Amino acid sequence: MTRPVFWALGISAVAAVWGVGLVERLDRRPSPSPTPILMEASQPSGTLPNTLVLEANAQGHFLTEVTVDGSRLSMLVDTGATLCAFSQEDAERAGIRVSERDFTARTQTANGVVAVAPVRIPVIRIGTITVRDVEAVVVPRGRLSTSLLGMSFLRRLSDVGMARGRLTLRG
C-alpha cells in the first residue's frame, strides 16, 4: 500500500527538483520585469469574482504572489509539478518548520538525489482564490530558487486556461 504513495512522492519530487534546474537557468537570464504580475480579471461581463489573470514574464513564465498562513511568497506556476514545492527558505517565511528528519522522501533528479519533506499546507491564497489542505513538499535549503505552485493546488481550481500570454485561474 505504501509503494504507490512513495512512487507518487518520488514523481512529485522529481518534477519539483527538475523545476529547480530550469528556474536556476532562467534566473541567470536578465528579466525586464522581476516583480510578479498579478491582476484581477478585467472582463466585467461573465467574470466571477474569484477569477485571476496572470501575465507571462519575458521568459513566458507565470509568477504570482501567494499567501500562505499570512505570509506573502513569490511562486512560479508549474503545471509540470505534481505537488507544490517550497524552498526551505520560503517555507520558513510562511511558518512551515521542517527538521532534517522530515526529509524522508528521496528522489533521483538530473541534479542528483534530493531528499524532500512532505507537508500539508492548511490554506494557500492567490488574490480571491483560496484552496485548503494542499499537498506539498519542502526542498532543502539552497536547492530551489523559486517555489513552485504545482498541480496539487491547480487541479483544485474550477478552471485553468491559457491564451495570448495570459494564464486565467478560476477558483
pLDDT at 113: 75
CATH at 65: 2.40.70.10
pLDDT at 108: 53
pLDDT at 114: 86
- Provide the residue range defining the domain that includes 68: 2-170
List Cβ neighbours of 5 (8 Å cut-off, separation of 6 or more).
none
Query: CA–CA separation, 35 vs 135, rounded Å?
Result: 26
Q: What are phi and psi for residue 150, nearest 5 degrees?
A: -95, -170
Nearest Cα neighbor of 11 from 143, 161, 151 is 151
Question: What burial letters (b/e) apply to 7-34, b meaning 16+ CB within 10 Å?
Answer: eebbebbbbbbbbbebbeebeeeeeeee
Integer Rg of the chain from CA: 16
Domain count of the fold of the chain = 1
Q: First vs last Cα of the chain: how many Å apart?
A: 32
pLDDT by residue for the chain (171 residues), tens digit each? 544 434 444 444 444 444 444 344 334 434 434 444 444 433 333 456 789 999 999 999 999 999 998 999 999 999 988 899 999 999 999 999 999 999 999 855 546 678 999 999 999 999 999 999 999 999 999 988 899 999 999 999 999 999 999 999 999
Query: CA–CA separation, 61 vs 77, rounded Å?
Result: 8
